[in-house]
Amino acid sequence: MAARHVLTIDGPAASGKSSTAQWVARTLGWRHVDSGSLYRAATFARMQAPGAPETWTEGSVLSGAAGIGLAPVEGSFIPTLGGQPLGEEIRAPDVTAEVSRVARMSGVRQWVNRVVQQAAQGHDVVVDGRDMGTVVFPDASLKVWLVADPWERARRRLQQRLGRRPSDEEIAAETDELVQRDSRDATQTVQARDAVLIDTTYLTQPEQVERIAALARAVSAKR
Ligand code: DC
Protein backbone atom coordinates (compact mmCIF):
# COMPACT_ATOMS: atom_id res chain seq x y z
CA MET A 1 0.00 0.00 0.00
CA ALA A 2 1.37 3.43 -0.91
CA ALA A 3 1.74 6.29 1.57
CA ARG A 4 -1.38 8.40 1.79
CA HIS A 5 0.23 11.81 2.26
CA VAL A 6 3.91 12.53 1.90
CA LEU A 7 5.41 15.81 2.98
CA THR A 8 9.07 16.21 2.05
CA ILE A 9 11.39 18.67 3.78
CA ASP A 10 14.75 19.11 2.06
CA GLY A 11 17.51 21.66 2.41
CA PRO A 12 21.14 22.25 3.37
CA ALA A 13 22.91 21.12 6.56
CA ALA A 14 21.73 22.49 9.88
CA SER A 15 18.68 24.20 8.40
CA GLY A 16 16.61 22.57 11.14
CA LYS A 17 15.02 20.00 8.83
CA SER A 18 14.97 17.03 11.19
CA SER A 19 13.73 18.79 14.30
CA THR A 20 11.14 20.71 12.26
CA ALA A 21 10.05 17.54 10.43
CA GLN A 22 9.66 15.70 13.72
CA TRP A 23 7.61 18.49 15.23
CA VAL A 24 5.44 18.91 12.12
CA ALA A 25 4.79 15.16 12.08
CA ARG A 26 3.74 15.26 15.72
CA THR A 27 1.46 18.26 15.09
CA LEU A 28 -0.24 16.51 12.17
CA GLY A 29 -0.29 13.03 13.74
CA TRP A 30 1.88 11.74 10.88
CA ARG A 31 5.15 9.75 11.04
CA HIS A 32 8.60 11.22 10.65
CA VAL A 33 11.38 9.54 8.63
CA ASP A 34 14.87 11.09 8.80
CA SER A 35 16.83 9.91 5.72
CA GLY A 36 20.07 11.52 6.96
CA SER A 37 20.02 9.22 9.98
CA LEU A 38 20.47 6.26 7.60
CA TYR A 39 23.53 7.80 5.90
CA ARG A 40 24.89 8.44 9.37
CA ALA A 41 24.10 4.89 10.54
CA ALA A 42 25.83 3.44 7.44
CA THR A 43 28.91 5.57 8.15
CA PHE A 44 28.91 4.55 11.80
CA ALA A 45 28.54 0.85 10.88
CA ARG A 46 31.45 1.05 8.41
CA MET A 47 33.62 2.69 11.09
CA GLN A 48 33.25 -0.43 13.26
CA ALA A 49 35.22 -2.43 10.62
CA PRO A 50 38.91 -1.92 9.84
CA GLY A 51 40.23 0.44 7.15
CA ALA A 52 40.80 4.20 6.86
CA PRO A 53 37.87 6.18 5.35
CA GLU A 54 39.89 6.87 2.17
CA THR A 55 39.91 3.12 1.47
CA TRP A 56 36.17 2.52 2.01
CA THR A 57 34.47 0.91 -0.97
CA GLU A 58 30.77 1.00 -1.71
CA GLY A 59 30.65 -2.77 -1.18
CA SER A 60 32.21 -2.53 2.28
CA VAL A 61 29.79 0.25 3.30
CA LEU A 62 26.82 -1.75 2.03
CA SER A 63 27.90 -4.87 3.87
CA GLY A 64 28.01 -2.84 7.12
CA ALA A 65 24.63 -1.35 6.21
CA ALA A 66 23.12 -4.84 5.89
CA GLY A 67 22.88 -4.88 9.71
CA ILE A 68 20.91 -1.61 9.83
CA GLY A 69 17.16 -1.39 10.26
CA LEU A 70 14.59 1.28 11.07
CA ALA A 71 12.61 0.60 14.23
CA PRO A 72 9.26 2.36 14.70
CA VAL A 73 9.06 4.46 17.85
CA GLU A 74 6.12 6.72 18.67
CA GLY A 75 5.55 8.83 15.58
CA SER A 76 9.02 8.25 14.20
CA PHE A 77 11.74 5.71 13.41
CA ILE A 78 15.19 5.19 14.84
CA PRO A 79 18.01 3.38 13.07
CA THR A 80 19.21 0.13 14.60
CA LEU A 81 22.44 -1.80 14.09
CA GLY A 82 22.34 -5.52 14.76
CA GLY A 83 18.95 -4.92 16.37
CA GLN A 84 20.34 -2.36 18.85
CA PRO A 85 19.04 1.23 18.67
CA LEU A 86 21.53 3.86 17.49
CA GLY A 87 21.41 7.19 19.30
CA GLU A 88 23.70 10.18 19.56
CA GLU A 89 26.73 8.18 18.36
CA ILE A 90 25.60 8.71 14.76
CA ARG A 91 25.79 12.51 15.30
CA ALA A 92 29.37 12.43 16.65
CA PRO A 93 31.90 14.69 14.84
CA ASP A 94 33.87 11.72 13.42
CA VAL A 95 30.70 10.41 11.75
CA THR A 96 29.75 13.89 10.50
CA ALA A 97 33.25 14.27 9.01
CA GLU A 98 32.91 11.12 6.85
CA VAL A 99 29.19 10.92 6.08
CA SER A 100 29.39 12.96 2.83
CA ARG A 101 31.83 10.38 1.42
CA VAL A 102 29.30 7.61 2.08
CA ALA A 103 26.36 9.71 0.82
CA ARG A 104 28.09 10.09 -2.57
CA MET A 105 28.03 6.31 -3.20
CA SER A 106 25.18 5.54 -5.59
CA GLY A 107 24.54 2.04 -4.22
CA VAL A 108 24.24 3.50 -0.72
CA ARG A 109 21.79 6.12 -1.99
CA GLN A 110 19.67 3.38 -3.57
CA TRP A 111 19.71 1.45 -0.29
CA VAL A 112 18.64 4.51 1.76
CA ASN A 113 15.90 5.36 -0.72
CA ARG A 114 14.52 1.84 -0.54
CA VAL A 115 14.52 1.79 3.27
CA VAL A 116 12.83 5.20 3.45
CA GLN A 117 10.15 4.23 0.92
CA GLN A 118 9.43 1.01 2.83
CA ALA A 119 9.13 2.92 6.13
CA ALA A 120 6.68 5.34 4.49
CA GLN A 121 4.38 2.65 3.14
CA GLY A 122 0.83 2.86 4.37
CA HIS A 123 1.38 5.94 6.57
CA ASP A 124 1.07 9.68 6.27
CA VAL A 125 4.68 10.75 6.59
CA VAL A 126 7.01 13.71 6.88
CA VAL A 127 10.38 12.77 5.38
CA ASP A 128 13.44 14.97 5.55
CA GLY A 129 16.75 14.95 3.72
CA ARG A 130 18.37 16.42 0.63
CA ASP A 131 16.58 14.75 -2.29
CA MET A 132 13.31 13.47 -0.83
CA GLY A 133 11.19 15.73 -3.05
CA THR A 134 13.19 15.12 -6.23
CA VAL A 135 14.40 11.49 -6.22
CA VAL A 136 12.58 9.54 -3.54
CA PHE A 137 9.06 11.04 -3.50
CA PRO A 138 8.71 13.04 -6.73
CA ASP A 139 4.90 12.78 -6.35
CA ALA A 140 4.80 14.00 -2.73
CA SER A 141 1.67 15.94 -1.83
CA LEU A 142 3.74 18.81 -0.45
CA LYS A 143 7.43 19.65 -0.80
CA VAL A 144 9.23 22.16 1.37
CA TRP A 145 12.69 23.55 0.73
CA LEU A 146 14.03 24.80 4.05
CA VAL A 147 16.87 27.30 4.03
CA ALA A 148 18.49 29.74 6.45
CA ASP A 149 21.44 32.08 6.34
CA PRO A 150 24.68 30.12 7.08
CA TRP A 151 25.63 32.41 9.98
CA GLU A 152 22.25 31.85 11.61
CA ARG A 153 22.40 28.09 11.00
CA ALA A 154 25.85 28.02 12.64
CA ARG A 155 24.63 30.14 15.57
CA ARG A 156 21.65 27.83 16.21
CA ARG A 157 23.75 24.70 15.99
CA LEU A 158 26.34 26.07 18.45
CA GLN A 159 23.71 27.35 20.85
CA GLN A 160 22.20 23.84 20.91
CA ARG A 161 25.58 22.10 21.29
CA LEU A 162 27.12 24.45 23.89
CA GLY A 163 23.95 25.37 25.76
CA ARG A 164 25.08 29.02 25.89
CA ARG A 165 25.36 32.03 23.62
CA PRO A 166 28.29 31.45 21.23
CA SER A 167 30.87 34.16 20.51
CA ASP A 168 31.22 35.71 17.04
CA GLU A 169 34.56 33.90 16.63
CA GLU A 170 32.93 30.55 17.40
CA ILE A 171 30.08 31.28 14.98
CA ALA A 172 32.56 32.30 12.26
CA ALA A 173 34.49 29.02 12.58
CA GLU A 174 31.27 26.99 12.57
CA THR A 175 29.96 28.93 9.56
CA ASP A 176 33.14 28.06 7.66
CA GLU A 177 32.69 24.37 8.45
CA LEU A 178 29.02 24.46 7.48
CA VAL A 179 29.71 26.12 4.14
CA GLN A 180 32.32 23.44 3.38
CA ARG A 181 29.80 20.72 4.27
CA ASP A 182 27.19 22.35 2.03
CA SER A 183 29.70 22.21 -0.79
CA ARG A 184 30.55 18.51 -0.15
CA ASP A 185 26.81 17.64 -0.22
CA ALA A 186 25.86 20.02 -3.05
CA THR A 187 25.35 17.36 -5.74
CA GLN A 188 22.86 15.46 -3.60
CA THR A 189 21.05 18.55 -2.31
CA VAL A 190 18.40 19.36 -4.90
CA GLN A 191 15.48 21.74 -4.69
CA ALA A 192 12.36 20.35 -6.35
CA ARG A 193 10.84 22.76 -8.87
CA ASP A 194 7.49 22.46 -7.14
CA ALA A 195 8.85 22.95 -3.60
CA VAL A 196 7.67 25.77 -1.34
CA LEU A 197 10.71 27.71 -0.17
CA ILE A 198 10.74 28.66 3.50
CA ASP A 199 13.60 30.82 4.74
CA THR A 200 13.79 30.33 8.51
CA THR A 201 16.49 32.93 9.18
CA TYR A 202 14.01 35.24 10.89
CA LEU A 203 11.47 32.64 12.04
CA THR A 204 11.26 30.89 15.39
CA GLN A 205 10.89 27.15 15.34
CA PRO A 206 7.21 27.23 16.41
CA GLU A 207 6.56 29.71 13.56
CA GLN A 208 8.18 27.51 10.92
CA VAL A 209 6.42 24.41 12.25
CA GLU A 210 3.04 26.16 12.15
CA ARG A 211 3.67 27.48 8.63
CA ILE A 212 4.51 24.02 7.29
CA ALA A 213 1.69 22.31 9.19
CA ALA A 214 -0.78 24.89 7.81
CA LEU A 215 0.45 24.20 4.26
CA ALA A 216 0.10 20.45 4.83
CA ARG A 217 -3.45 20.85 6.18
CA ALA A 218 -4.40 22.96 3.17
CA VAL A 219 -3.02 20.37 0.75
CA SER A 220 -4.65 17.46 2.63
CA ALA A 221 -8.02 19.20 2.63
CA LYS A 222 -7.94 19.42 -1.17
CA ARG A 223 -7.26 15.70 -1.72
O1 DC B 1 20.91 15.94 7.48
P2 DC B 1 22.12 15.21 8.07
O3 DC B 1 23.22 16.14 8.52
O4 DC B 1 21.77 14.24 9.14
O5 DC B 1 22.69 14.37 6.85
C6 DC B 1 23.80 13.54 6.99
C7 DC B 1 24.51 13.38 5.65
O8 DC B 1 23.73 12.63 4.74
C9 DC B 1 24.90 14.66 4.93
O10 DC B 1 26.24 14.53 4.50
C11 DC B 1 23.99 14.75 3.76
C12 DC B 1 23.60 13.33 3.52
N13 DC B 1 22.24 13.17 3.05
C14 DC B 1 22.03 12.98 1.72
O15 DC B 1 22.99 13.00 0.93
N16 DC B 1 20.77 12.75 1.26
C17 DC B 1 19.73 12.73 2.12
N18 DC B 1 18.50 12.50 1.64
C19 DC B 1 19.92 12.94 3.50
C20 DC B 1 21.21 13.16 3.95
CA dihedral 136, 139, 142, 148 (to 10 degrees): 40
pLDDT, one tens digit per residue, over 129-165 is: 999 999 999 999 999 999 999 999 999 999 988 999 9
Pocket around ligand 1 at a 6 A CB cut-off: 13, 35-36, 39-40, 99-100, 103, 129-132, 185, 188
- pLDDT at site 107: 98
Q: Cα dihedral sign for 73, 64, 101, 142? A: negative
Q: Which CATH class is domain 31-123?
A: alpha beta
Instruction: Grade residue 41 by pLDDT with cuts at 50, 70 and 90.
Output: very high
- pLDDT at site 79: 97
CATH superfamily for 9-15+130-211 is P-loop containing nucleotide triphosphate hydrolases (3.40.50.300)
> Is it the case that residue 89 has pLDDT exceeding 80?
yes
What is the 152 CA–ligand 1 centroid distance (Å)?
Answer: 19
Check: CB of residue 205 under 8 Å from CB of residue 186. Answer: no
Check: CB of residue 94 under 8 Å from CB of residue 102. Answer: no
What is the 201 CA–ligand 1 centroid distance (Å)?
Answer: 21
Ordered by start, the domain boundaries in the chain are: 9-15+130-211, 31-123
Q: Do domains 9-15+130-211 and 31-123 have the same CATH topology?
A: yes
What is the 71 CA–ligand 1 centroid distance (Å)?
Answer: 19
Least confident of 34-38, 119-123, 149-153, 162-166: 119-123
